[in-house]
Amino acid sequence: MKLHTKHSFILASESPRRKEIFSRLNIPFGVQPANIDEKVEGSYTPEDLAIKIANLKAIAIAEINPDAVVIGADTTVRIGKLLLSKPTNKEEAKQFLKLLSGRVHNVITGVSIRGAGISLAFAESTLVKFYELSDEQIDAYVESGDSLDKAGGYGIQTMSGLFVEKIQGDYNNVVGLPISRLFQTLLQLQLIEISKGVN
């Protein structure tokens, strides 16, 4: 299946994981991190918070690229009533993983689409259950340095995927971008089209 678009796309993210996932659409796009302050005042549901930050990222880049379609995204992890973003240091990463050990948590990614007269956002949620983790497993993973740039302190696509007992929902959403839902949304908005024929 080939896709085509008349629009210029920009992914407002510095995440190599989001870049890799978005590239599966096989349409031209640029990458331009928003570098915004992600601290948001007020009380939000996890879904609304992820959408709020995704919107801030997309708006910041759309304002300086008015002719482009900008995609912003933000991922957070909810365990009980707690929201876990990116850990600030190794000790916090270990605390996050101890919280997740043996329990079900919710990975939520907000996605914002801005440009070409479009202003739309949605949130996708995936349930993830971890095995019981030993201190040895947690310490070894955190010492690898992999946990510090990832919401919840882990990346399902790396070695910490070995901690996952099961998931319910979109795997790519846990990695950082629910590409299937984004694909369907871009089709519905007619921002991308499926090429006809066999060329």
Quick: pLDDT tens for 79-108.
999 999 889 999 999 999 999 999 999 999
What pTM was computed for the model?
0.92
Q: What's the pLDDT at 25?
A: 96
What fold, for 3-194? Maf protein (3.90.950)
Q: What's the pLDDT at 69?
A: 98
* 74 annotated active-site: yes
Cβ(18)–Cβ(176) below 8 Å: yes
Average pLDDT in the chain: 94
Mean pLDDT of 133-157: 94
**Domain ranges, ordered by start, for the chain:** 3-194
Q: Tokens standing for 120? A: 């739309």
Q: Which is catalytic among the residues 48, 74, 146, 149?
A: 74
- State phi, psi for 57 to the nearest 5 degrees: -65, -50
